[in-house]
Structure 1
């Protein structure tokens, strides 16, 4: 089957991407689904910093690679062994496929699936196969088992969650990454207590999802921080009670004074060392700092070691919002339908696949929240 797909040729290209065009729109051959796999027609796929980190080279992946992972679509065909999906079902893509058999999976922590982590790093599907090929037979690697910036994809059944048909594709696509990562960090990783004081550092799609999760979970005070003044204004519309520019020299002292010693929970979602330093600095004695950021593997940060013990501090990572996707995505969708998680506010722009390089420029410049490619 011939499909059109957005293929990254090289990581770390200079900007603007609209000029250097590291991503090419190519016609590829997509082979049929095998055992445990599903053919999906992609209807909407949004640009995420996890895609951008491959484009800018901060998280290297094998190229050429067909990008994209936060998406929704319609099932066209199921492979042998798939008996719980059928043609015309609507699905959301999940960027960590879970094998169901490794130790983390057996412990109920599919986000940490060892097989999924390896195959994502290798650029294959969960079973190690590659279904994308150029006309000359050259393989094109899969991004996070999905490669959603494509007209159609073949994915593992374990990369897909069946969802309701009554939500527009461009809205429900956001649940596959931004929402489960941000909201999940609040309700799963932090298990945030009602009436808590919360800070969110980094107001992209994940950060604002965490903010929405804090609102829905009954946070008493929500402090939003970013270096972009426009995003601070948006945070107010999402429910933030206070906003601070995280680049201000005295921001830590100002927040500690305003909160009487710091916040109960600080969520860092920017994936930047200065952001995690601010997050830890504004967390109170006995409080919890959580990061969802995915920085360059070489980046390091330091903290006052004694505070972990003397102040009973907690520093945690949160991957995929510590979610069980087939459990949590339907739950979060129900909250959305009730008006308690208005994630449609995250959708800021709609573009064509051919404009994807320009879209990543806007994302890296902080000019947009979730930019959605609509097919």
Structure 2
């Protein structure tokens, strides 16, 4: 079959919207009509050539409807509403069976980790990859049943789309990786889709202060509506406030870095706000995913018993946590509708990413019309 898709043909190029070929689902695969796809900085990293093979169909955050199933698929049926999961959950590897399915060994998003035998897209006869094995920037995609999660059909698919990556990553960075608890002082760097949801996670976990730092003043007011207790454009001012608020800890209990391009100066500044026994969580990637952007005083880590932790997918188990977050949404405990700043057509995807880079949107969403 044919389908429209946004493709990156080479590193640094803009998205090309074109018609491509899509093979039928094979064993263990499903055909999904993606109705919505989130615009995430990870796809911006892919565009620059640092996060997977090119050319590629973009998109790893999304939601849609199962339209066909391949042989052997038992957990999904035609008509099911699903959320994309950019890391699969095979349920068999050591990471999955020990409760760390965000590290599943079948992950397709690591550079050089793709299996060409599983490519279902092709362009002018040449096989092309799908970002994270998904390719949600295509109206239709054939994916492994392990990379989609059945969800409540009463929830709008635009909401499900943003919950499938950015919400889970930010919320989990606070709840799972940062282990925020009642009375903690939490500082979040970056008020994009991940940072805003780190704020929501910290608030739900009982933090007494949730401090947000972002250089874009326009984002500060919206951060307060999601639960930030104080907002700053200056890291120095935020650090000083965290030290005053923390008392004997002399800094934040948890600092969560959610910046779109996490550089060494950002990590160093984040560490400067950390108190004794504090947890520094890195949830935002660098543009060059191999950049050595952590250079910290190790002996001070010893003296203060501090921890530095990376987190992928918010250290969540997506099959458990996507439905959990959507249930919190239905009960009015977290905001998801308000995350979608603007919907774009697929033809306008380059404008959507320009708005993301310039900080206009919390989350832009492509609505496949």
- TM-score, length basis structure 1: 0.92
- Which residue is equivalent to 2:285? 294
Given the alignment, which residue of 128, 131, 141 partners 2:120?
Answer: 131
What secondary structure is seen at the aligned counterpart in 1 of 2:353?
Answer: helix
Measure how far apart 1:186 and its partner are.
1.7
The CA deviation string for residues 46-88 of structure 1, in whole angstroms up to 9 with x for no partner, is: 100101111234x242211100011000000111111111011
- Which residue is equivalent to 2:166? 178
Given the alignment, which residue of 218, 223, 237 partners 1:230?
Answer: 218
- Which residue is equivalent to 1:280? 271
Given the alignment, which residue of 63, 68, 71 partners 1:80?
Answer: 71
Measure how far apart 1:102 and its partner are.
2.7
- Which residue is equivalent to 1:256? 243
Mean Cα displacement is larger for which, 84-93 or 193-202? 193-202
- Which residue is equivalent to 2:206? 218
Measure how far apart 1:249 and its partner are.
5.2
- Which residue is equivalent to 1:367? 360
What secondary structure is seen at the aligned counterpart in 2 of 1:214?
Answer: helix
> Structure 1 pair 182/251, CA: closer, same or farther in 2 (3 Å)?
closer
What secondary structure is seen at the aligned counterpart in 2 of 1:140?
Answer: strand
**d(CA) in 2 for partners of 1:77, 1:251:** 51
The CA deviation string for residues 199-227 of structure 1, in whole angstroms up to 9 with x for no partner, is: 11111001101101111222111100111
Contact 1:180–1:320 (8 Å) recurs in 2: yes
Contact 2:212–2:230 (8 Å) recurs in 1: yes
The CA deviation string for residues 232-272 of structure 1, in whole angstroms up to 9 with x for no partner, is: 221112111111114x5565345424544211111111141
Given the alignment, which residue of 54, 63, 68 partners 1:63?
Answer: 54
The CA deviation string for residues 147-198 of structure 1, in whole angstroms up to 9 with x for no partner, is: 0011101111110000001111111111110111111112222222122111
**d(CA) in 2 for partners of 1:36, 1:341:** 34
- Which residue is equivalent to 1:145? 133
Mean Cα displacement is larger for which, 84-93 or 187-196? 187-196
- Which residue is equivalent to 2:298? 305
**d(CA) in 2 for partners of 1:179, 1:303:** 29
What secondary structure is seen at the aligned counterpart in 2 of 1:195?
Answer: coil
Measure how far apart 1:306 and its partner are.
1.1
What secondary structure is seen at the aligned counterpart in 2 of 1:144?
Answer: helix
Aligned residues between the structures:
362
- Which residue is equivalent to 1:108? 99
Contact 2:185–2:245 (8 Å) recurs in 1: no
What secondary structure is seen at the aligned counterpart in 2 of 1:280?
Answer: helix
Contact 2:267–2:293 (8 Å) recurs in 1: no
What secondary structure is seen at the aligned counterpart in 2 of 1:101?
Answer: coil
Measure how far apart 1:123 and its partner are.
7.1
- Which residue is equivalent to 1:163? 151
- Which residue is equivalent to 1:18? none
Contact 1:96–1:120 (8 Å) recurs in 2: no
**d(CA) in 2 for partners of 1:366, 1:191:** 28
Root mean square deviation, CA, Å: 1.7
Contact 1:61–1:122 (8 Å) recurs in 2: yes
**d(CA) in 2 for partners of 1:75, 1:120:** 26
Measure how far apart 1:103 and its partner are.
2.5
- Which residue is equivalent to 1:6? 6
Q: Which runs of 5+ in 1 are unaligned?
A: 14-21
What secondary structure is seen at the aligned counterpart in 2 of 1:52?
Answer: helix
- TM-score, length basis structure 2: 0.93
What secondary structure is seen at the aligned counterpart in 2 of 1:199?
Answer: strand
Contact 2:178–2:256 (8 Å) recurs in 1: no
Measure how far apart 1:351 and its partner are.
0.6
Contact 2:343–2:365 (8 Å) recurs in 1: yes
Residue 121 in structure 1 maps to residue 114 in structure 2: no
Contact 1:7–1:23 (8 Å) recurs in 2: yes
Q: Which runs of 5+ in 2 are unaligned?
A: none
